[in-house]
Structure formats: structure tokens, C-alpha cells
Chain A
Amino acid sequence: MIDIRIRKNLQSAQGRMDLHLDMSLAAGQFVTLFGASGAGKTSTLRMLCGLMTPDAGHITTTQKTWFDHRRHINLPPQQRNIGYVSQDYALFPNMTVRKNLEFALDKKQSGTIVDELIDIVELGELQYRKPGMLSGGQQQRVALARALVRKPDLLLLDEPLSALDREMREKLQQYILDVHRKYQLTTLLISHDVGEIMKLSDRLYEIQDGRIVREGTPADIFGLGKSSARFRFTGEVTGVQKADIVYIVTLRIGHDQVKIIADPSEAADLQPGDKVAVASKAFNPVIRKI
């Protein structure tokens, strides 16, 4: 259990912003932070790591207090036992894949975990290469594995998959889910991708301008929980056309373009670029904005 209550005045590109967060992560939970860029998501992760100091509040775990403004406690990153995968991975270019992982070992820790992790993320063949020789997806796997070497109390993932193509994303989502379960991690992910969030997370916090505006399970928040759908996809509207008395809505779902017939009331508030869920109950598809 990690209890977070922090305030921080941030200078962003859009001007000043008052970040004001109140959230708690239950042990073993997979939690996602969702929100537009500049909402304060990355700053939140940096404050959890100890790379940025909040102005007020506290961050406490079951075992220790990481930060407490009133008691003047602010543990340095070295003492927080966190796994952090930043957007740019920050692999050490002078070390091979294996050395990157070994560097993370604690002094008294046995090296068997390194072999185990290399196995899990399937980097055996690449372990003696330097990061500069790897593709984006491979680098991401190294970063993920390196973050797990110390068996962190909390794993932080800052849009780790945003730079990758869809196929690679889906594969890596599986790796993330696998290690989250295997090591019983508490994981906090930053993501924009609704499909990814649905697949991975137990709980979702939506942040807007530094405040939490919604929290709950992903299905609740994206409004997918209420329909008893047989199947369900999320996609993006690419076009809405009138055809006689109905509308034809064109959607991009994954790699596919799909055309769906919608009645005027459904189509009225749909515009290209909207994220939608498409579900089918028996025969007729239901299209709903998320």
C-alpha cells in the first residue's frame, strides 16, 4: 500500500500549474495515470522516484515514509527501491545489455535474477550487445528488465510503449503483464492508449491540469462496464457520412478500417478523431463515445 498526497507548483509550457494529487496504490495493483500531456503525469512519477521534491504533502509506503514535508523527511532515490522506466529508457550506452542489468544489482544480491530476467524478456541472444545496436522494442525490454533487477516495491512506467508500433506494443504489453503478475509488483503506468489501459490496468486515475478528475476501474471510466456486450473494440472515428436516412461512420480499429451504420441520434455527436467503443449485442452494433 502506497499512500500519496502531494502538492507541487509546476512551471509548464502552458504556464503555472498547481499539481494536487491524492491517491493510494494497493499492493499488487496495476494502476494507470491517464490524461493529456502537460497534466502533470511525468512530474508525479518523478516525485515518487525522489527526482523531484514536492512542495507539501507526504508519500508513505507500508514499510517507510519516502517523503513528509512536515517531518522534513525526503528519502533520496537510492533509498526508495523503485523500478523506473522513463520515456527515453536511459540505458547506459557504455555497457552491454547484460552489464546494464548487472549494474542494477545490489552489493549483496545474487546474479541469478539477471539470467532469469534476460530469459523472461527473451534477450538471451542480444545480451552481449550494446544498447545502441538494438531496436526500440528491444531497448524497451532491456529497460523493463533492468528496472526489475532490484525487485522494486513499486514499478513506474512512463509511456514506455508510446514510441513503438502497434504490433510491438501488444507484444510488450504482454511482457509487462507477465512480470507484474510473476513478481507481484505494484505498478503505476502512464498511458494514453485506451486499449492498453483496458488490457493492463485494474485501476485508473484521470488527471486534468494537475487534479484527479475521475478514478475507478477502466471499464467504469470508459463507460464500457454497463453493456453486456458479446464483443467490444475501441477505435477512432475517421469519418461520418450521411447516406439516405442513416449515417455511415468509418472507424479505425487497430489496423483495420471499419464501416458501421449509425442512426442520426448516434451520429450526431460523433466527429473525426473521437475515441469510441463499438460493442455488439446479439445483432446490432452499439457505438458509444468514450
Chain B
Amino acid sequence: MEWGPVILTLQLAAVTTAILFVLAIPLAYWLSQTRSRIKPFAEALVSMPLVLPPTVLGFYMLLAFSPNNAFGEWLDDRFGIRLVFSFSGLVLASVLYSLPFMVHPIQSGLSALPQALSEAAYVLGKSRRTTLFRVLLPNIRPAMLTGIVLTFAHTIGEFGVVLMIGGNIPGKTRVASIAVYDEVEALRYMAAHGYSLVLLGISFGTLLIVYLVNGGYLKRFSP
């Protein structure tokens, strides 16, 4: 077993989580406030990765970004970006695939806050932005932590979408979950064990953090 795929997995999870955190806050805020008619459509799109087979998402992204296609060719010619079989492609796929895991906790956290809080801030002359950052978000810290950790853990657990769009290129797109598959195919069970145990540990550890913090367990032991 090598550490390369594990480090790549952690990098992918960290970058994806960071991007999604920034993207999800305005999206979740909009979903929690809007009465627009397109809200159900937006919500269905955000939730789709929960039910869609990852291979389907990966397949369409592969088609869209392939340099043999008009859009992929344009990206390549214009910006020199090739999203197929590259780390940036993996990041984009992961962002789409983990979107509900970040948006849902933040959205439900915001919806659960009493409307009177934001109204009080508006009457005190504060803009929507100030209200969001100084009143609403600080009061949903547990929901934000849940979003961050679940996104991180879910990205670590990705397989299908990564395999479709990234392939299995060592050092570029060969993440730990794919390495397990690869080693098993080659009948190298010891190496597969190594990756599997590391993944098991990381997944359990991250989820444990959520439940320890949100359950108030850590607070009980601090003065």
C-alpha cells in the first residue's frame, strides 16, 4: 500500500468541502427564504445526487467535458482546461455529487431559526447580508459543522463518479476508494486491507466528531 491515494483522497475532500461551504451558504439561504415558484425545481436538483447512481452523473460529465465534444473542446481551446481524467475534474464532480450534504443541513438550520430574529435585525437597520453573517449563521453553528463533516466524509466515500470522470491515474485521480478496487482486482488483498482500514478509520472519526460536538458531549467536560 502507498500513501499517495490516501493523501489525494484527503486533498480532494478538503478542496471540495471548502468550495461547497462557500457555495452552499448563499444557496441554502436563498432556499430557506424564497417563495419563488422555481424553488421545488431547485430543491430537486440539489437533492438529486442522493438518489442518482453516481455512474450516471459521471457518465454525463464525461460526455460533456470530453475534448471530442463541442463544450469540452471549447473549454480546452479557450482556457486550456481539461476536466476529464484530471484532479480539477474530480473536484467539480465531487462538488456536484456532495452538494446536498452541505446544503441540506445549512438550509434546515436556517429554516428552523425563528423569523423574528431576522426581522429584529432588519428593524434595527441591518442589511440582509449583515443579518445573515452576524445573526443567522452564528446561531446555526452545529448545522454548519454537520454540513462540513458530512461533505468531507461523503467525498472520501466517492467511487463511481470519480472512476467515470477521473479514471485511475496514479498521483492524479487515483483516490483511495479506487485503489481498493484496483488492488482487489489484482488479488493484492493485503494492500486492499490497508486502504480499507484507513478509509474506515477516517470515516468513523469524522462522523464521531459531529456527534460528539453536536450532542454536547465535549461541552460537558469543559469548564
| Chain A interface residues toward B at CB < 8 A | 49-51, 76-84, 86, 88, 90-94, 103-104, 106, 146, 149-150
Assess the A78–B119 pair: CB atoms within 8 A: no
Interface string of B107-148 (1 = CB under 8 A from A): 000000010110111111111000000110011000000000
Would you give 22 A-B contacts (Cβ < 8 Å), ordered by A? Answer: A49-B119, A49-B123, A51-B119, A51-B122, A51-B123, A77-B119, A78-B123, A78-B126, A79-B125, A81-B125, A82-B123, A88-B114, A90-B114, A90-B116, A91-B120, A92-B117, A92-B139, A94-B139, A104-B124, A106-B125, A149-B124, A150-B125
Chain B residue at minimal CB-CB distance from A76: B122
Provided the pairs A51-B119, A77-B119, A86-B116 are in contact, do residues A94 and B135 lie with their beta carbons within 8 angstroms?
A: yes
Tally of B interface residues using CB under 8 Å: 16
Distance to closest chain B CB from A94 (angstroms): 4
Which residues from 78 to 134 on chain B have a C-beta closer than 8 Å to any C-beta of chain A? 114, 116-117, 119-127, 134
A78: min CB distance to chain B, Å? 5
Q: What 13 new A-B contacts, CB under 8 Å, besides A49-B119, A77-B119, A86-B116?
A: A51-B119, A51-B122, A77-B122, A77-B123, A78-B125, A80-B123, A86-B120, A88-B114, A92-B117, A103-B121, A149-B124, A150-B124, A150-B125
Contact call B122/A90, Cβ cutoff below 8 A: no
B147 to chain A, nearest CB (A): 18
Most buried by B among A50, A79, A90, A150: A90
Q: Which residues of B contact A150 (CB under 8 A)?
A: 124-125
Out of B119, B123, B134, which one reaches A103, CB within 8 Å?
B134
Q: How far is the CB of B132 from chain A (nearest CB, A)?
A: 13
In angstroms, Cα B131 to Cα A77, docked, is 13
In the bound complex, how far is the Cα of B83 from the Cα of A68, in angstroms?
A: 54
Contact A146 B116 (CB under 8 A): no
CA distance A84 to B124 in the complex (A): 8
Check B135 against A84 for contact (C-beta < 8 Å): no
B138 touches A84 (CB 8 A): no
| B125 lies within 8 A of A88 (CB) | no
| Chain B contact surface mostly | helix
List of 4 A-B pairs having minimum Cβ-Cβ separation, nearest first: A90-B120, A90-B116, A94-B138, A77-B122
In the assembled complex, the CB of B193 is this many whole angstroms from the nearest CB of chain A, namely: 46
Which of A78, A83, A88 contacts B122, CB < 8 Å? A78
Which residue of chain A lies nearest to B122 when distances are taken between CB atoms in the complex? A77
Of residues 2 through 61 on chain B, the ones whose CB sits less than 8 Å from some CB of chain A are none
* Candidate in A50, A83, A84 with the most chain B CB atoms within 10 angstroms: A84
CB distance from A113 to the nearest CB of B (A): 13
Task: Point out the residues of chain B lying under 8 angstroms from A82, CB to CB.
Answer: 123
Most chain B CB neighbours (cut-off 10 Å) among A79, A104, A146: A104
In the bound complex, how far is the Cα of B122 from the Cα of A81, in angstroms? 10
Interfacial chain A residues near B114, Cβ < 8 Å: 88, 90
Within the complex, the shortest CB–CB distance from B121 to chain A, in Å, comes to 8
Docked pose: A104 CA to B134 CA in angstroms = 12
**Cα–Cα distance between A51 and B121 once the two chains are bound (Å):** 11
Alpha-carbon separation in the docked complex, A12 to B120 (Å): 23
When distances are taken between beta carbons in the complex, the residues of chain B under 8 Å from A78 are 122-123, 125-127
CB of A93, distance to nearest CB on chain B (Å): 6
| Distance in angstroms between the alpha carbons of A186 and B116 in the assembled complex | 23
Q: Which residues of B contact A76 (CB under 8 A)?
A: 122
Q: How far is the CB of A185 from chain B (nearest CB, A)?
A: 15
Residues of B within 8 A of A91 (CB): 120
Q: Which residue on B lies nearest to A94, using beta carbons?
A: B138
Chain A neighbourhood of B120, CB < 8 A:
84, 86, 90-92
From B122, B125, B135, B139, name the one whose CB has the most chain A CB atoms within 10 angstroms: B125
Once the chains are docked, how many angstroms separate the CA of A51 from the CA of B124?
A: 12
Q: Is the CB of A93 within 8 A of B122?
A: no
Q: Mark B133-171, 1 if CB is under 8 A from A, else 0.
A: 011001100000000000000000000000000000000
Query: How far is the CB of A144 from the nearest CB of chain B, in Å?
Result: 13
Chain B residues with Cβ under 8 A from A106's Cβ?
125
A83, B122: Cα distance in complex, Å: 11
Residues in A neighbouring B122, C-beta threshold 8 A:
50-51, 76-78
Distance A127 CA – B134 CA, assembled complex (angstroms): 19
Most buried by A among B114, B124, B126: B124
**Contact partners of A149 in chain B: CB under 8 A:** 124
A103: B residues at CB distance < 8 A: 121, 124, 126, 134-135
Taken together as a complex, chains A and B put the C-alpha atoms of A76 and B116 apart, in Å, by 16
Interface centre among A84, A92, A146, by most chain B C-beta atoms within 10 angstroms, is: A92
Residue of A nearest to B128 (CB): A78
User: Complex Cα distance A101/B191, Å?
Assistant: 60
Given A86-B116, A88-B116, A93 and B139 contact (CB-CB distance below 8 Å)? yes
